[in-house]
Each structure stands twice: as structure tokens, then as C-alpha cells.
């Protein structure tokens, strides 16, 4: 094991319900740098998109849930995105 492993920031799964995680992401959007964060965020359940896109989707679902009371599904893979597009197309044709 390298000595550098002891100095790395810990890997933490981004949790939209934790206020500190939301604050750190907001700081990232302002500075476009994770340098101020004490963590290295991961999103293990979503592997098709980059980290920032995954966090943005979780944040959007979180705030829409707070505003309207219904969580929107967050696409976790390309297949999910395709299913959601088909569902939207069906609903708009009515």
C-alpha cells in the first residue's frame, strides 16, 4: 500500500438528503473544482453517465419531490432513458 493512500480523500456515495453533500455540490458548480471538498463523491448505482450528470439528476429529483411531493424517476442506464422517452412519447400522443 502506498503512503499516498493514507492522504487521499475518502470515497463517499453522494446522498442528496445530506445537506453538506448538496452544499459541496453547489460549491463545485460555482468554482468548477472539487478541491474544497473533503470527500471524493461516487454514484455506484449509476454507471452510464459522468458523476456531475448523475448528481444533477439526483438534485433535480430531490427538489421536485420537495416542491410537488412526487419523485421523478432518475435514469440509471441507457435502457432506462430509452424507456422514459417511449413513455413520454406515448403520453404526448394522447
pTM above 0.75, yes or no: no
The mean per-residue pLDDT over the stretch 8-35 comes to 95
Q: Judge whether residue 75 has pLDDT over 80.
A: no
Q: Judge whether residue 69 has pLDDT over 60.
A: yes
- What local confidence, expressed as pLDDT, does residue 48 receive? 66
- What local confidence, expressed as pLDDT, does residue 25 receive? 97
Grid coordinates given for 43: 454514484
Grid coordinates given for 77: 442506464
Grid coordinates given for 26: 453547489
- What local confidence, expressed as pLDDT, does residue 11 receive? 92
Cβ-contact 28, 37 below 8 angstroms? yes
Amino acid at each position: 500500500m502506498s503512503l499516498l493512500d493514507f492522504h487521499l480523500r475518502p470515497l463517499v456515495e453522494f446522498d442528496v438528503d445530506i445537506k453538506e453533500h448538496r452544499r459541496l455540490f453547489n460549491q463545485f458548480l460555482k468554482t468548477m473544482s472539487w478541491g474544497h471538498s473533503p470527500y471524493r463523491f461516487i454514484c455506484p448505482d449509476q454507471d452510464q453517465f459522468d458523476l456531475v450528470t448523475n448528481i444533477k439528476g439526483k438534485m433535480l429529483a430531490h427538489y421536485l419531490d420537495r416542491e410537488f411531493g412526487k419523485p421523478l424517476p432518475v435514469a440509471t442506464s441507457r435502457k432506462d432513458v430509452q424507456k422514459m422517452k417511449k413513455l413520454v412519447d406515448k403520453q404526448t400522443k394522447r
